[in-house]
Amino acid sequence: MTGRRFFGTDGIRGRVGVHPITADFVLRLGWAAGRVFARDSGRNRILVGKDTRISGYLFESALQAGIIAAGVDVSLLGPMPTPAIAYLTRTFRAAAGIVISASHNPFDDNGIKFFGADGRKLADAVEAEIEQYLDQDMVTVVSERLGRASRITDAAGRYIEFCKGTLPFGSHLGGLTIVVDCAHGANYHVAPDVLVELGARVHAIGAEPDGLNINRDCGSMHPARLQQEVLARRADLGIAFDGDGDRVIFVDSSGSLVDGDELLYILAAHRSANGGCNGVVGTQMSNYGLELALAELRIPFVRTAVGDRHVIEAMAENQWLLGGESSGHIVCGDLSTTGDGLVAALQVLRALVEAEATLAELRAGITKLPQTMVNVAIGAGQAFAACPKVAAAIASAEARLAGRGRVLLRPSGTEPVVRVMVEGEDAELVRRLAEELAGVVAAQAL
């Protein structure tokens, strides 16, 4: 649905203190959401959780006030992974769940994401309805109809038990030494406990949030320290999440990264060998090597636009249960309604244990083509793709790849950048083409 001014591919996101990520806007957003999710009979409840950014306190209070002013109850979850809020929204039979998070972005960004009562991202029409209320005067309900606030104190424990329950009864990770990097984010008090309770020997890093260090030189976006720790501790593997816990990547015992494409392959291969995998959904950014590896297993594969919403829609359309992105945003549709880094990690560990294999052995079935991506800063609304010089540069790059690779330019849905991606068999050629094309795009953005 077109015409939405504030909602992007994953909620509303931006720099703290810059419209719309301001206290007054978020207050009105809470009120607008309360109006949309309010019902005539009975008192409804909206759950509100957040990651570990210092600005979460500010926006939690603003949302809470707006929702209460609309006559809806609020239950505060505190710092919790985004997928946990989706799960808890369903289990508490809440009208909606709201996440205060900017995911993998730095601490001075923040955002608001919504889940419906079913634990899924909102439809475009519902987001548009919320935006319509933002244009109205904010009117507080009469005092006897004001919402009430409460805090759910056992939220982490509930989610921990859910995660462990996604493994078959009796599953055990005994014998595995795992380094887990929580990105100083929302998984800091969840993921290590899950792994320890399943029997693994766990060394946690990135598990001391101070409000300012989320995603800073750690987590799935910055895995260098995790690689070092895995080697130093002679661990079997490492696991890294992003700040809000919906992404995951691995590191094998040699310190090599295992990204979302490789994890999808491992999960698909394991499912194929144990009852079948009827198909996998990837995105425009998925490595061509994943497509080739799945074809070897006779597993169908389709691509969507980038974003978990598009992946989930394609999964539903095809009635498939597995999909994800190279970034490590992986959806196991039979276990969760959204991308869940911890649930995906547990499924990979299950595959490793049941196959009695190492992570390096499990990933051996996929050979990724060299891929280079360059982010180019752009101004809002710039139609770079329609520029003749950019179109000519794309055509030239594709000709030089000679049918043995691909070129993709995609505006980010969460940052003011264009992602310039080139993929092919020759790594040096791929790198040069990506840099040249990024230079052309950057020149048009000036």
Residue in the block written with tokens 């987590």? 219
Angle at 216 between CA 64 and CA 224, to 5 degrees: 140
Residues 6+ apart with CB under 8 A from 399: none
CB 14 within 8 A of CB 418: no
Q: Kindly state the tokens that stand for 44.
A: 């409804």
Residue 90 burial by Cβ neighbours in a 10 Å radius (0-12, 13-18, 19+): middle
- DSSP letter at 76 equals E
Distance CA 262, CA 345 (A): 12
What stretch of H or E contains 25? helix 23-37
CA atoms within 13 A of residue 32's CA, in its CB half-sphere = 19
Dihedral (CA of 115, 116, 120, 126) sign: negative
> Exposed (0-12), middle (13-18) or buried (19+): which is 210, by Cβ within 10 Å?
exposed
Maximum alpha-carbon separation in the chain: 70
Instruction: Answer for the pair 319, 342: CB distance below 8 angstroms, yes or no.
Output: no
* Residue that is written with structure tokens 């955002």 in the block: 111
* Catalytic residue (one of 55, 101, 103, 336): 103
Cα separation of 116 and 337, whole Å?
11
- CA atoms of 56 and 23, how far apart (whole Å): 11
Task: Determine contact, residues 93/65, Cβ cutoff 8 Å.
Answer: no
DSSP state of 386: G
Task: Decide if 412 is catalytic.
Answer: no
Task: Give the start-end residues of each E strand in 291-348.
Answer: 301-304, 322-324, 330-332
Closest among 75, 41, 44, 45 to 60, alpha carbons compared: 75
State how far the Cα of 55 lies from the Cα of 117, in Å rounded to an integer: 26
Active centre residues (catalytic): 103
